Amino acid sequence: MTSKERLMIRRKNKMVYFLFALDCGDPITPEADDCMKYWADLLAKYGIKGCFVITGATARALVDRGRKDVIKSVSKHEIAYHSDTHSIHPTSAEYLNEMDLNSGINEVIKKEIKGINNLAEIFGQYPVISVQPPGNSPPAVNYAMNLMNIPIIGHSIFTSFNNGLPVWYCNCLNFRYHLFMDSFFSSKGNDAFNKKKEEIDSLCEEKDRGLISAFTHPAAIVAKSHWDLIFKDGKNPPLSEWLVPPLRPKTEVENIKSGLKNLLFYILKKPGIKPVTYKELYNLYKEPADKWFSQDEVITLAKGIGRELTYQKIGKIILSPVEIFSLILYSLAKFKEKKRLPVQIPWRKPMGPTSQLGRLREKIEIDSSIFLDKAIKLNQDINRFHRLPARVNINQIVMGPGDFLLAASKALIAISEKGNPDKRIIIKPAENYPSVIKTIDFSQIEYPRWLFPKNFKGENLIKRARLQSWTVKPVVKSAM
């Protein structure tokens, strides 16, 4: 069998999950309501459940305009939360930049709970995923949504890590869009169709792709521009100045609809394509709630820390650096308290650090009893505050979590091999950010987006996003 023949067989047998996301953030264009219904009915005709990404404002506008028909059609699909008011300033990124993480989480809940409940009441189902407008899903939003029983985040920051596939971050499952359908509207005739086909084919043929998330704005079928351009550069015009965007001619609308039907049919007839919902994928990737780890497994993780501060895989489970820290810390604390290592260690999922990290300047040595006492205190703090310490103070010497973790890993290995730690614990300067911090997802975070005020840089948001790199890990690929 030739290599070309093997490639053809591999392509034929490969399955690619396909997500259809419909971004419905326009509350002011009545004609956009019909586009929502068009997409809902079209997907339903082919037996597909799409994900309608809807703002609280859009949902309330449908009710105000009496569009029971649209609500009925859309309710047959999955519902995602797209923020309450989308582009009205201050957006979540703008107000969260001025708050610490705790205050930010509380503020997100306060501002967004109304819109979430509106969607649940109007469409008869609680939203399964939060897809905030671009640039508006910093860590506080992730954690707040999880607290409101929305553990999935769309439009995430991860384009490089894990090849744009789902990533666990801030204890939420983060998805990225891969296929932008609106670009289909910018060209005409077969040229547009063929370009989009080539893009779909290329995505399907990527090694380890496994998932394609496509998204479009239904309103773009009729509207020549986005409704929220009036909020550009931080502007906040009064309601009386909100203008419906210019509309396309009817013939152009019908041509777009015809092209979309052909494109949808092309996607569905491709071998291996399997339409799915976000909820179905979450259930596929969801981690067990009752998992405990053996001491041998934790020792293996401790040895891995000595090589690199990153996520690690144990069996069919992947653990983030903050989860590994929690397991090692628990083991040392219980050894100090009970004079033996625990047989089973609980799987805790704390937040990452929430303030500036400490940093050890030079190597130090301390008595093992003092070190283990600190392990007990830190373990209690994780139970109480559910977060990784940003700074560890031992004998008035400040170090970072990475500095402490490396020494803790070595101490745990020594206990497992000799029954006790060395009398003196050596703590050396180590990496205090996981290695994922070097990817462009973290190293090149920027906020020069058209929506924000021109001087908005989001410096504090960027710092907090990088601190939460301790929570990053890919999904288990065997589930895909």
For 149-166, the DSSP string reads T--EE-S-S-SSGGGGS-
The predicted-structure confidence for 387-437, as pLDDT tens digits, reads as follows 999 999 999 999 999 999 999 999 999 999 999 999 999 999 999 999 999
CA distance 188 to 163: 31
Name the 3-class secondary structure at 64. helix
Q: Which pLDDT belongs to residue 194? A: 84
- Give 305-331 pLDDT, tens digit per residue: 999 999 999 999 999 999 999 999 999
Q: Specify the domain boundaries for CATH 3.20.20.370 within the chain.
A: 13-285
3-state secondary structure of 260: helix
| CATH no. of 13-285 | 3.20.20.370
pLDDT at 443: 86
pLDDT band at 1, cuts 50/70/90? very low
3-state helix, strand and coil shares in percent for the chain, rounded to the nearest 5: 50, 15, 35
In this prediction, residue 450 has a pLDDT band, given cuts at 50, 70 and 90, of: confident
Average pLDDT, the chain: 93
Q: How confident is the model at residue 10 (pLDDT cuts 50, 70, 90)?
A: very low
The pair of structure tokens assigned to 381 is: 């703090």
Q: The tokens of 420 are what?
A: 């006790």
